[in-house]
Structure 1
Amino acid sequence: MKFFNYVPLFLIALLTSCSSIKVQTDFDKSVSFEQYKTFAFYKPGVDKVEISDLDKKRVLKSIETTLLAKGFVKSENPDLLINFFTKSREQVDVNTFNNGWGYGWGWGWNPWMWGGNQTSVIRTTSGTLFIDLIDAKKKELVWQGEGDGEIFRNQKNKEERIQEFVTKILEQYPPKVK
């Protein structure tokens, strides 16, 4: 019976450990993050991001929604300026395998060998979303989060995938200082 008490914990751990987005963060350890309560987007930086305007709007909306849920307030006179940028890369995996029954007995021809080699090519696109938090007064980067994961070109639910990236990254803010 005790086994069933641990099943929900195991499932939660399994589901959270299998995230398809890898997150890393870095921050200025001398900064007190409790001082930051308001934010605005850093327009010159956001304007330079080389993604479609539709995706740019999706990322901005996701960041705004996540920060508001954390208790931040959007302001004309912000404590933090928010910038983001992206990188992507294509990976090509080529696999060749023999689809026969076996490899035979040593050198030479094997009459029981059938089929032949098959090659598969799998192309995936991986992307990284960087989110920068900049102290508005000092104009210094104080926190950076990056999320790396697979991008699906013909994905129907782009908003959900972008929100997943943003949420996973901003879960790490504010940093836990030891």
Structure 2
Amino acid sequence: MALLLLVGLTACATPIQTEYDRDIAFSDYQTFAWKVPSREGVEDPAGDSEILDRRMARLISDALEARGYESVPAEEADFLITYRTTTRRGDRSSGSSISIGMGSGNVGGGVRLGGGGSQTQSVLMLDIIDRSDDTLVWRGWEESQQGQSRWSEDRLKRLVNRLLNEFPPSNQ
């Protein structure tokens, strides 16, 4: 039973996505500093909050320090790290649909069970910026269905750790 539950939860997990500059020697990065995120274009009040900024700064710093990086003042850092949230509406499907129909001549009828609708997706992105030239060199993100707990401490901690498990890129 536990194995089935684990398989079910894994199947529902949204994959982490990343992109990065292949010309960067990420192994040279040893120190970091927090960069206050931009509020431009953030429409979700919960994603546009100084409270969330402080929570994310602490969670990200804790995760990076646990991986051996050192937090230093911005002018001394090898890289800066920040985050961004976005939300968007999208279509969803229940994954199952049954349709029954019949008709003759000008008369027709049908029944459809199951279906779709729309849902709001939340996206959390982490950005690594090379401090020497202020360029984005790594981005990791995860998209998930919006729910009440999307910005909860526990969920964010798990998500930050999942994202930073992909940094630095493994092929470096």
Contact persistence 2:20–2:139 (CA under 8 A) = yes
Over 3 Å counting, the alpha-carbon distance change for 1:103 and 1:47 in structure 2 is closer
Q: Structure 2 regions of 5+ residues with no counterpart?
A: 43-47, 106-110
| CA RMSD of superposed structures (Å) | 3.7
Q: In 2, Cα distance between the equivalents of 1:52 and 1:72?
A: 26
Q: Structure 1 regions of 5+ residues with no counterpart?
A: 1-7, 109-115
Q: Name the residue aligned to 1:35.
A: 28
Written as runs of structure 1 = structure 2, the 5 A alignment for 1:59-138 is 59-76=56-73, 77-91=76-90, 93=92, 107=104, 123-138=118-133
Amino acid aligned to 2:39: K
Superposition TM-score, scaled by structure 1 size: 0.69
Contact persistence 1:21–1:168 (CA under 8 A) = no
CA displacement at 1:11 relative to structure 2: 6.9
Contact persistence 2:78–2:130 (CA under 8 A) = yes
Q: In 2, Cα distance between the equivalents of 1:21 and 1:103?
A: 35
Deviations 1:73-114 (CA, angstroms, capped at 9, x unpaired): 11012111112212111235588x88xxx878x659xxxxxx
Q: In 2, Cα distance between the equivalents of 1:139 and 1:94?
A: 41
Amino acid aligned to 2:28: Q
Deviations 1:28-72 (CA, angstroms, capped at 9, x unpaired): 1121111111111123xx153632222222222221121111111
* Sequence identity percentage: 24
Q: In 2, Cα distance between the equivalents of 1:94 and 1:172?
A: 29
Q: Name the residue aligned to 2:169.
A: 175
Greater strand proportion: 2
CA displacement at 1:21 relative to structure 2: 2.7
Q: Name the residue aligned to 2:155.
A: 161
Structure with greater Cα Rg: 1
